[in-house]
Amino acid sequence: GVDPTVTFATDEETDRAKAILDKESIEKSKPMLKIRVNDSTGDKELIVSKRRFFYPTAIGRGTCCYVAADLTTGKRVFLKDSWRYDGDRLEREGDIYELLYAKGVSNIARVIYHGDVKDQEGRADQRSVSAMYAEENWALRTRTLAQHQHYRIVLDTVGKKLTEASSSRSIVKGILDALIAHKEAYEKADILHRDLSLGNIIMIDDDHAILIDWDLSRPVKSLREENARVRDRTGTWQFISHALLQLTLKLHTRQDDLESSYWILLWTCLHH
């Protein structure tokens, strides 16, 4: 449907955004868009053009990522627009980032602002409705449906993909930096990432990378306490551990994420 929080940028806003964004982030054949982020400190507006990443199928969380222009600060920022799982066991990604930063976790981005997307009047949240009808008599019971909440998060760091690293040494260093972030999050904040994958390691330069996409992470304690029958499966299937793929009720552990780092290294080296 129509999203009232996304509008066309004015000519003046477009000209200012072009002076901020790099040419790889500008799509000349389409007009630039202005996207509103409903942060707790007030609404913020960013100008975007070309999508850096988007989920290509109709199922999933509809994630779209942009390198955006913040006209207030004159800086490039990273905007992620997605439909997050709206459940008691999952925190908002921005809240996870703030916890990790407070605990001194290395190799992560800083959150500038984030929030659930509101309607045009800034009141009701934008939520999916399919899960509301899952128990109706006419509904086909093929799988459990989860409610999703439209959500945006803005990070201060813009980098490049792991596959764009200049050398095999940079690839290994990038994965190492991601594992350091993963280790410190586990030990300092009791957080398990649960989605180590190729797209979640971002190279800042040839000698430094960060680990992003903490939206599926969980406190380790909550994973241990939950009933195995309601256990959810997360991750990018090319990089999920063998045990998680074979055993549907297995607890997701640190060892599974460590195995994912091996598959990332293997996949990247074969495709580099």
Q: Where in the chain is the domain with CATH 1.10.510.10?
A: 159-272
Tokens for 260?
A: 């994912």
Task: Please give the Cα distance from 93 to 122 (Å, whole number).
Answer: 21
159-272 in CATH: which number? Answer: 1.10.510.10
pLDDT category at 123 given cuts 50, 70, 90 is: low
Q: Please tell me the distance from the alpha carbon of residue 35 to that of residue 4, in angstroms, as a whole number.
A: 9
Task: Show the beta-strand stretches assigned E in 61-110.
Answer: 64-70, 75-85
pLDDT for the residue 31: 96
**DSSP structure class, residue 125:** B
| pLDDT tens, residue by residue, 214-255 | 998 999 988 877 654 445 667 788 899 999 989 878 889 999
The backbone torsions φ and ψ at residue 170, rounded to the nearest 5 degrees and listed phi first, read -65, -35
Distances, alpha carbon 17 to alpha carbons 42, 73, 155, in Å: 21, 11, 17
pLDDT tens by residue, 13-71? 999 999 999 999 999 999 999 999 999 999 999 999 999 988 777 777 789 999 999 99
Distance CA 4, CA 54 (A): 20
Determine the Cα angle at 243 with ends 143 and 229, to 5°: 40
